[in-house]
Amino acid sequence: MTMTTPDQIGSVTPARRRPYGLLLVATPVLLVLWLIIWPIISAIITTLWVPTPEGSAFSIETYRFFFSDGYSLSNLSITLWTTGVCAILLLVVCLPIALYLRFSNTKVAAYVQGLAIFPMFVPSIILSFAFIRVLGPNGTVDLLFNAVGLPKIRTPYLTPWGPVIGLVWDNIPLTVLILLSGLGNVSNQAIEAARDVGAGRFALLWHIILPRISNSILVAISFAVLGIFSAFTLPYILGPAAPEMMGPFMQRTFRDLYDPQTAITQAVITFGFCIVFGLFYVRSVAKNRAA
Amino acid sequence: MKRRDFMLAAGTAAGALMLPRMSFGAEGVIDVYFSSDQNVIDFWTNVVKPKFEAANAGITLNLVDGGDGAGVAAIGDRALAALASGTDPQADLFEGFDTRVTVDGIAKGLYVDFETAGLSNYSKVNPLAFDIPTNLPYRGSQVLLAYDTTKLDPANVPKTWPDLVAWIKANPGQFIYNRPNKGGSGGNFVRRAIYEVNGNDPSLFTVDNYSADKNDTMLKPAFDMLLELAPSLFDGGAYTSGNTQSLQLLGQSAVTMIPAWSDQALSAIAQGVLPETTGLVQLQDLGLPGGFTKLGVLSNGANKDAALKLADFLLTEEIQSAVLTELGGFPGVSWDYVSPELRERFADLIPQTIPNFPSGEWEAAINDGWYRAVAPNVDPAS
C-alpha cells in the first residue's frame, strides 16, 4: 500500500479519491444494512402484510389493535413516563457531579470519578437483586432506619419507581462521561473573564457553561433515553406486573403468548419513538461537524 | 519442516483426545442424557453415580447434559434413525424426557415398556405418577406453600383453598405470588385458583380442549377471584417477577407465606437462603399443581440391560430418600417406600393428588388473561 502525504491528497482529483474512502466504510455500512436496516424493513413488512385465508394482504390491523387496546397503551405510557423521569433525574444527578469533576483538582475528585464510573461495571441482573436487598422490604435501608428509630419506608420495589431508581443508577457513568467531555470545551479563561466582570455562580452556569455544553446534554439525554426506552432486565425484575415497560411487554408477547406478529408491532412502535431521539443525536453531531 | 511436524503431532494429539467422544457406545458404560438443570446432574454425579457404580462392579455411568428438552429430543430422533438402520444409538437412558416427544418412537418400539421390563421396584411407583408405560417417573416436584413459622403457628396454617383465601384476607400484605408466566410457583398458584372455580376437577383441562368461550366460563371467574385477593396481597397487589424473588421476600421476612416449588424451597432451607424456621405445607383438598420427572430407556441401546438395572436402582429406598434429602424433590415411589423417619419429617407435604395442568393454548390464555384482568386493576403507585 502506498502512503500519500496530505499535500498529495490535495492534488488528487476528488473523483479519484472517492472509491478508497467508500471501500474503507463499506464493511460497517454493509453490516448496518444487513443486521439493522434490513431487519427493520422486514419487521415493518411483517406487521403490515397480515396472513388471511386468501394469502397475505396489506392491513394496519396490528397497529389499530395496539392503539385501541388500553392495556398496550398504558404500557406505552408507563414507558414514556419512566423514560422522561429518568432523563430529568439523570440530568439533576449527573450535572453537579460533572461540574464538580471538571472544576475540582483535589484528590477526592479522583475517587468521586471512580465512584461515578463504577455502575458501568455492575451487570444489571446483579444490580436488580442487590436493589431488592437494599431498598426492598426489610432491606438494608429499612434496617438502618429501624436502628435509629425511624419508621419503615414504603419500598419502591415492584412499583414504577423501582425501575426508575435502577435505571438512573445504571446510566450515571455514561451521562457523566459525556457531560464531562462537553465541559472540556469550556475554557478556564472564559470563566475567569466572566468572574472578572462580576458574574455570580448561577450567572456563570447559565450564561457561560450551559450554552457551551447544550450539545453534550442533548447527546447524553439521547443516549440515556435510547437505552432506557427499551430496557429489559431492570423493569422486568424491579417493576410492577402491570403496566409493563415495552421491553418486558414485547418479550412476554413473543415468548409467553406465542404471538410474534404483535410482538414485532410493539417493537416497530418502540423503534418509532426511539428514532426521534436518534435523530436528535444525529442532528447534534451534524451541527458539531458543521461548526 | 519442524513446524509441520509440530502441527502433525498436535493434530494427532487433538484427534486422540476427541476419540473417546466419538467412540461407539462402549460395553459397560451407560450413556445418560439429561434435559434437567445442573442441580439434577449434580445430584446424579454426587449421589446416583457413586452408589450405582459401587453396587454394580464393571458398569459406569456417562452423564451427558443434553441442554434442554429439545436437545434430548434430537438424540431421540437419532436413536429412532439408528433403530431403522440397526445401528448403535450411542445412548441408553434419557432423564427428564417424555417418550411421546419422539414422533413414532413408541409405535416403533424405540422405548422400553416398563410394565413388561420386569423391574423389581416397579410396583413401588406412586400411582399418582403413572403416565404411559414407556415413561418411568422417578422423582417429582410440586408447588406448595412455604411460610414463616415464627409468624404463623404450624397448627393454624391453612390446609384448604378456602382457608388459604380466608387467611390471606385476614392478614393483608403477608402473601405474594409471582406472575404466572415468570415461574411455576405463581403460575401453579393461579392454576390452582382456576381448579377451584371449576369444582376442583383437573380432568376438565386437557392439552387440546381450550376454546375462546372456555376463557369466559372457566378462566374469567378465577381471575375475578384473584383480583378480589389483590388488595390483601403484599403492597396492596404486587407480584414478584420470579420464583427466586418470592423466596427472597420470604427470606427477608417481608411476607409470611408464598407458593414455592418443593425442591427450590427445600434446597433454599438447606443452603440457608431461607431460615430453618420455614414451614412447608400442601393444600389437602386439592394440591397445588406440579408434576413428575420421567425417564425413558432405549430398547436398542448397547447397554439396555444395564440401563434397566439403573432404572430399577433409582427406585430403591436409598435413592428415593436421597431425592428428598439431597435434591429436595419428591420421591417417585409411594411414600410408603421411603424411610419412616423421612415420612414423618415431610408429613405435611405428602399430597393426596398431584394435579398437572396442561400447557398448549391454555398457557397463553392464562398468561394473557391474568395480565389483563388481574395485574393492572391495582394502581401500583397508589
Question: Among all residues of chain A, which has the CA nearest to that of B183?
Answer: A256
A contacts of B239 (beta carbons < 8 Å):
158, 240-241
Please state the separation of Cα A124 from the chain's center in Å: 15
Within this chain, do residues B305 and B245 fall inside the same structural domain, yes or no?
A: no
Q: What is the ipTM of this complex?
A: 0.75
B contacts of A136 (beta carbons < 8 Å):
248-249, 252, 254
Within this chain, do residues B274 and B297 fall inside the same structural domain, yes or no?
A: no
Assigned domain for B13 exists: no
A contacts of B189 (beta carbons < 8 Å):
none
Domain count, chain B: 2
Mean pLDDT score, A172-180: 94
Q: Do B376 and A242 touch (CB under 8 A)?
A: yes
Q: Provide the shortest C-alpha distance from residue A284 to chain B (in Å).
A: 36
Within this chain, do residues B109 and B222 fall inside the same structural domain, yes or no?
A: no
Assigned domain for B195 exists: yes
Within this chain, do residues B323 and B229 fall inside the same structural domain, yes or no?
A: no
Nearest to A136 among B241, B252, B363 (CB): B252
Q: Provide the shortest C-alpha distance from residue B123 to chain A (in Å).
A: 38
In this prediction, residue B6 has a pLDDT band, given cuts at 50, 70 and 90, of low
- pLDDT tens column, A194-227: 888 888 888 888 888 888 898 889 889 988 998 8
**DSSP summary character for residue B99:** G
Instruction: Give residue A261's pLDDT.
Output: 87
A71-290, CATH topology level: MetI-like fold (1.10.3720)
Tell how strand B330-331 and strand B257-261 pair up.
unpaired
Q: Do B371 and A243 touch (CB under 8 A)?
A: no
Rounded to 5°, the CA angle B21-B24-B29 comes to: 80
Question: Among all residues of chain B, which has the CA nearest to that of A233?
Answer: B241
Assigned domain for B20 exists: no
Q: Is A143 on the interface with B (CB under 8 A)?
A: no
Best-predicted range by mean pLDDT (A2-11, B26-35, B64-73, B76-85): B76-85
Closest CA relative to residue B321, chosen from B304, B355, B300, B345: B345
- pLDDT tens column, B152-161: 999 999 999 9
Q: Cα–Cα distances in Å, from A142 out to A135, A163, B142?
A: 8, 19, 34
Q: Do A257 and B368 touch (CB under 8 A)?
A: yes
Q: In this model, does residue A172 exceed pLDDT 90?
A: yes
Within this chain, do residues B225 and B367 fall inside the same structural domain, yes or no?
A: yes
Q: Provide the shortest C-alpha distance from residue A56 to chain B (in Å).
A: 24
Within this chain, do residues B166 and B286 fall inside the same structural domain, yes or no?
A: yes
Instruction: Give residue A91's pLDDT.
Output: 94
3-state secondary structure of B55: helix
Which residues contact residue B133 at a Cβ distance below 8 angstroms, ignoring those fewer than 6 apart? B113, B114, B115, B116
Which residues contact residue B238 at a Cβ distance below 8 angstroms, ignoring those fewer than 6 apart? A157, A158, A159, A240, A241, B176, B380
> DSSP of B209-226, one letter per residue?
---HHHIIIIIHHHHHHH
Q: Do B239 and A259 touch (CB under 8 A)?
A: no
The whole-angstrom separation of Cα A63 and Cα A50 is 11
Which residues contact residue B161 at a Cβ distance below 8 angstroms, ignoring those fewer than 6 apart? B192, B193, B196, B283, B285, B286
The whole-angstrom separation of Cα A176 and Cα A112 is 11
In this prediction, residue B205 has a pLDDT band, given cuts at 50, 70 and 90, of confident
Nearest to B248 among A132, A252, A258 (CB): A132
Q: Is B173 on the interface with A (CB under 8 A)?
A: no
Q: Is A141 on the interface with B (CB under 8 A)?
A: no
Assigned domain for B175 exists: yes
Name beta bridge partners: A50: A57
* Domain limits for position B93: 25-139+291-345
Instruction: Give residue B379's pLDDT.
Output: 46
**DSSP summary character for residue B246:** H
Q: Do B376 and A136 touch (CB under 8 A)?
A: no
Within this chain, do residues B83 and B196 fall inside the same structural domain, yes or no?
A: no
- pLDDT tens column, B330-348: 888 988 888 888 888 877 7
Q: In this model, does residue B92 exceed pLDDT 90?
A: yes
Closest CA relative to residue B258, chosen from B280, B289, B290: B280
The whole-angstrom separation of Cα B373 and Cα B227 is 7
Nearest to A139 among B252, B380, B381 (CB): B252
Instruction: Give residue B25's pLDDT.
Output: 58
Residue A223 dihedral angles phi and psi, to the nearest 5°: -60, -50
Name beta bridge partners: B137: B294
**Site from B174, B241, B253, B273 to mutate, A interface, most A CB atoms within 10 angstroms:** B241
Q: Do A158 and B371 touch (CB under 8 A)?
A: no
Q: Is A137 on the interface with B (CB under 8 A)?
A: yes
3-state secondary structure of B144: strand
Q: Provide the shortest C-alpha distance from residue A155 to chain B (in Å).
A: 9
Q: Do B238 and A241 touch (CB under 8 A)?
A: yes
Instruction: Give residue B23's pLDDT.
Output: 47
Q: Provide the shortest C-alpha distance from residue A73 to chain B (in Å).
A: 12
Q: Is A165 on the interface with B (CB under 8 A)?
A: no
Q: Is B275 on the interface with A (CB under 8 A)?
A: no
- Helix intervals (H) in chain B: 2-22, 38-43, 49-55, 69-85, 161-170, 184-197, 212-214, 220-229, 243-251, 262-271, 304-314, 317-322, 340-345, 361-373
Contact B77, B101 (CB under 8 A): no
**CATH number for the domain harbouring residue B122:** 3.40.190.10
A contacts of B235 (beta carbons < 8 Å):
137, 155, 158-159
Q: Is A268 on the interface with B (CB under 8 A)?
A: no
The whole-angstrom separation of Cα A244 and Cα A238 is 11
The whole-angstrom separation of Cα A239 and Cα A235 is 5
A contacts of B364 (beta carbons < 8 Å):
256-259
Nine-digit cell string for A143 = 434496617
Question: Among all residues of chain B, which has the CA nearest to that of A139?
Answer: B252
Assigned domain for B122 exists: yes
**Among A253-262, B1-10, B351-360, which is the least confidently predicted range?**
B1-10
Q: Provide the shortest C-alpha distance from residue A256 to chain B (in Å).
A: 6
Q: Where are the domains of chain A?
A: 19-59, 71-290
B contacts of A138 (beta carbons < 8 Å):
252-254
Mean pLDDT score, A76-102: 94
**DSSP summary character for residue B23:** S
Instruction: Give residue B367's pLDDT.
Output: 86
Within this chain, do residues B116 and B257 fall inside the same structural domain, yes or no?
A: no
- pLDDT tens column, B273-304: 899 999 999 888 888 988 788 899 999 999 99
Which residues contact residue B80 at a Cβ distance below 8 angstroms, ignoring those fewer than 6 apart? B102, B104, B105, B108, B110
Contact B291, B141 (CB under 8 A): yes
Considering Cα of B119, then B329, then B189, then A72, what sign does the dihedral take?
Answer: negative
Query: Which of residues 224 through 243 in chain A touch B, CB cutoff 8 A?
Result: 236-237, 239-243
Output B247 or B25, whichever has higher pLDDT: B247
Nearest to A240 among B238, B248, B254 (CB): B238
Residues A129-167 as b/e (b if ≥16 CB within 10 A, e otherwise) read eebbeebbbbbebbeeeeeeeeeeeebbbbbbbbbbbbb
Q: Do A252 and B381 touch (CB under 8 A)?
A: no
Considering Cα of B155, then B328, then B206, then B182, what sign does the dihedral take?
Answer: positive
Classify burial at B214, counting beta carbons within 10 Å of its beta carbon; exposed 0-12, middle 13-18, buried 19 or more. Answer: middle
